[in-house]
Chains A and B, each alone.
Chain A
Amino acid sequence: MNRFAHLLDRLAFEHARNSKLRILGDYFRHTDDPDRGYALAAMTGGLAFAHAKAGLIRTLICERCDQTLFEMSYDYVGDLSETVALLWPSPPLREGHNFPPPPSLSQVVETLHATPKAALRQVLAQFLDQLDETGRWALLKLITGGLRIGVSARLAKTALASLGDVEPNAIEEIWPGLTPPYLDLFAWIEGRADKPVVSDPAPFRAAMLAHAIEETNFVSLKPEDFIAEWKWDGVRVQAVTGYDEAGEPVGRLYSRTGEDISGAFPDVLEAICARSFGAASIDGELLIVREGRVESFGALQQRLNRKKVDARLIAEYPAHVRAYDLLSEDGEDLRSLPFAQRRMRLARFLETRAPARFDLSPLVPFATWEALAQARRDPASAGAGEDANAIEGVMLKRVDSIYVPGRPTGPWWKWKRDPFTLDAVLMYAQRGHGKRSSFCSDYTFGVWRQGAEGDELVPVGKAYFGFTDAELKLLDKWVRDHTVNRFGPVREVEANHKTGLVLEVAFEGVQRSARHKSGVAMRFPRVSRIRWDKPARDADRLEAVEALIGERKRAD
Chain B
Amino acid sequence: MVTERLAGASAIFTPLLSRAHPYVVAMAPPHLLAPTPAGLFCAAGDFYIDPLRPVPRALITHAHSDHARRGHGDVLATRETLDIMALRYGEDFCARRQVAAYGQSQRIGDVDVSFHPAGHVLGSAQVRVADERQRIVVSGDYKRASDPTCAAFEPVACDVFITEATFGLPVFRHPDASLEADKLIASCALFPDRAHLVGAYALGKAQRMMVLIRQQGWERPIYIHGALEKITEYYAREGNDFGEIRKVSAAERSKLAGEIVLCTPASLQDIWSRKFPDPVAAHASGWMRVRARARQRGVELPLVVSDHADWNDLCATILETQCSQVWITHGEADALVHWAGCIGLDARPLHLIGYGDEEDAVEAQT
Contact = CB atoms under 8 A, between A and B. Distances in A.
Interface stretch (B28-36, B51-59, B127-135, B169-177): B169-177
Interface in A389-428: none
Interface string B153-187: 00000000000000001111101000000000000
Interface in A11-60: 12-16, 19, 22-23, 26
A69 B269 contact: no
B220 interface: no
Interface string A71-96: 01100111100110011011010000
Contact of B9 (A26, A79, A90): A90
Contact of B290 (A15, A72, A77, A438): A77
A481 interface: no
Contacts of A435: 278
B175 A65 contact: no
B297 interface: yes
A82 B335 CA distance: 18
Given A72-B335, A77-B292, A489-B296, A89 B10 contact: yes
B104 interface: no
Given A77-B292, A489-B296, A489-B297, A89 B13 contact: yes
A113 interface: no
Contacts of A69: 12, 169-170, 335, 338-339
Contacts of A76: 169, 171, 290, 332
A437 interface: yes
B274 A72 contact: no
B335 A438 contact: no
B190 A488 contact: no
A534 interface: no
B290 A13 contact: no
A433 interface: yes
B292 A65 contact: no
B291 A79 contact: yes
Contacts of B173: 86, 133
Interface stretch (B70-78, B86-94, B298-306): B298-306
Nearest to B300: A13
Contacts of B289: 86
Interface string B209-224: 0000000000000000
B285 to A, nearest CB: 14
A291 interface: no
B102 interface: no
A64 interface: yes
Contact of B13 (A64, A72, A73, A79): A64
Question: Which of B12, B271, B289 gathers the greatest number of chain A CB atoms within 10 Å?
Answer: B12
Contacts of B291: 12-13, 79, 82
A185 B148 CA distance: 50
* Residue from A92, A435, A437 having most chain B Cβ neighbours under 10 A: A437
B107 interface: no
Interface string B4-37: 0000011011100100000000000000000000
B13 A13 contact: no
A77 B171 contact: yes
A68 interface: yes
A224 interface: no
A76 B332 CA distance: 10
B270 interface: yes
A73 B170 contact: yes
A72 B298 contact: no
Interface residues of B, number: 42
Q: How large is the interface on A (under 10, 10 to 19, 20 to 34, 35 or more residues)?
A: 35 or more
A438 B270 contact: yes
Nearest to B281: A437
A66 interface: yes
Given A73-B335, A437-B281, A87 B271 contact: no
B234 interface: no
B342 interface: yes
A211 interface: no
Contacts of A15: 300
A90 B173 CA distance: 11
Interface string A315-328: 00000000000000
Contacts of B230: none
A79 B269 contact: no
A65 B289 CA distance: 19
Contacts of A12: 291, 295
A92 B13 CA distance: 12
B273 A438 contact: yes
Contacts of A66: 12-14, 17, 338-339, 342
Given A77-B171, A77-B290, A68 B298 contact: no
A438 B271 contact: yes
B330 to A, nearest CB: 16
Interface in A516-534: none
B294 A13 contact: yes
A83 B273 contact: no
Given A69-B339, A72-B338, A438-B269, A13 B170 contact: no
Interface string B115-129: 000000000000000
A3 to B, nearest CB: 12
B166 to A, nearest CB: 13
Contact of A65 (B170, B268, B300, B302): B170
Nearest to B290: A77
A69 B278 CA distance: 41
B306 to A, nearest CB: 14
A130 to B, nearest CB: 14
Interface in B280-338: 281, 289-292, 294-302, 332, 334-335, 338
Given A23-B190, A69-B170, A69-B335, A79 B292 contact: yes
B298 A437 contact: yes
A372 to B, nearest CB: 44
B83 to A, nearest CB: 33
A73 B13 CA distance: 14
Contacts of B278: 16, 435
Contacts of B274: 438-439
A431 interface: yes
Nearest to B268: A438
B234 to A, nearest CB: 29
Contact of B334 (A19, A72, A132, A489): A72
Nearest to B293: A77
A46 B298 CA distance: 30
The winner among B191, B300, B339 for most chain A CB atoms within 10 A is B300
Contacts of A90: 9
B296 A13 contact: no
B13 A65 contact: yes
Given A13-B295, A72-B338, A87 B191 contact: no
B292 A22 contact: no
Contacts of B175: 132-133
Interface of B: 9-10, 12-14, 17, 169-173, 175, 190-191, 268-271, 273-274, 278-279, 281, 289-292, 294-302, 332, 334-335, 338-339, 342
Given A13-B301, A26-B190, A79-B291, 19 more contacts: A64-B12, A66-B17, A73-B169, A73-B335, A76-B290, A78-B292, A82-B290, A86-B170, A86-B289, A87-B170, A89-B9, A90-B9, A133-B173, A431-B298, A435-B278, A437-B279, A438-B268, A438-B270, A438-B271
A-B interface, 10 closest residue pairs, ranked by CB to CB distance from nearest: A86-B171, A89-B9, A73-B171, A65-B12, A72-B335, A13-B300, A90-B9, A69-B170, A438-B269, A437-B298
30 contacts: A12-B291, A13-B291, A13-B299, A13-B302, A14-B300, A19-B191, A23-B190, A66-B338, A66-B339, A68-B335, A69-B12, A73-B171, A76-B171, A77-B290, A77-B292, A83-B171, A86-B170, A86-B172, A89-B9, A89-B12, A90-B9, A92-B10, A133-B173, A133-B175, A433-B298, A437-B273, A438-B268, A438-B269, A438-B271, A489-B296
